[in-house]
Amino acid sequence: MSDIFELFKKISSSSPAQGAPEFIVAGLGNPGREYAFTRHNAGFLAMDYLTEKRNLGDLRTSRFRSLVLQTELDGKKVLLMKPQTYMNDSGEAVREAADFYKISPERILVISDDVAQEPGRMRIRRSGSDGGQKGLRSVIEHLGTDAFPRIRIGVGAKPHPDYPMADWVLGRIPEEDQKKIFSVLGCVAEAVPMVLDGRFDDAMSKFNGVSF
């Protein structure tokens, strides 16, 4: 009988490592109620939609300067993150989690807004530049590479060149765009497991041309 208890002890002591996340999915945005439905918070909205759609629970645990949820998506152990560092320092939080779990950049999926795309559109890429998105820029700087997958959610371009970009991305999503953006969040939720599974071509073919 004592041998059985010793075996249980060994299994228990090894279970945290076995249960460690293999992937990170980080939705970018700004913390605070005043930012909840702004263009810059499309990444946060995507995370909320994903967890609600898949009945995963809420991102409530505070860790890595983020709200996190450790869960499984289609059999893959995943750490879902909403960095609370504010957009421009998102990379600090992502790097902390990546370093702790020893997760390589190609297993880190970042979801952000994209002013270069119209509302109701999305784009999946395996890697690439930040495209002027400061949260992505921070992630690239702190990971030391741009070789990580990302999903970018269209929020529309500012109305004219002189319009301050900060005012635009921190502006509330107008009613006429809300339905389009919320519709595309369903596609994002469907694309995330495909990207984690390495089915980039399928995901890009299916969703990069979507428009609502």
Q: Residue type at 82?
A: K
Looking at the DSSP assignment, which residues form a beta bridge with residue 162? none
Contact 203, 195 (CB under 8 A): yes
- DSSP assignment, residue 174? P
Looking at the DSSP assignment, which residues form a beta bridge with residue 77? 72
- DSSP assignment, residue 38? B
- Strand order from edge to edge, sheet including 66-73: 61-63, 66-73, 76-83, 23-27, 108-114, 150-154, 122-125
d(CA 109, CA 119): 21
Does 40 qualify as catalytic in the annotation?
Answer: yes
Strands 23-27, 76-83: parallel, antiparallel or unpaired by DSSP? parallel
Token reading at 189: 């939720």
Active-site option among 23, 31, 40, 73: 40
Find where tokens 């999903």 sit. Answer: 151
Contact 114, 86 (CB under 8 A): no
Task: State the catalytic residues.
Answer: 40
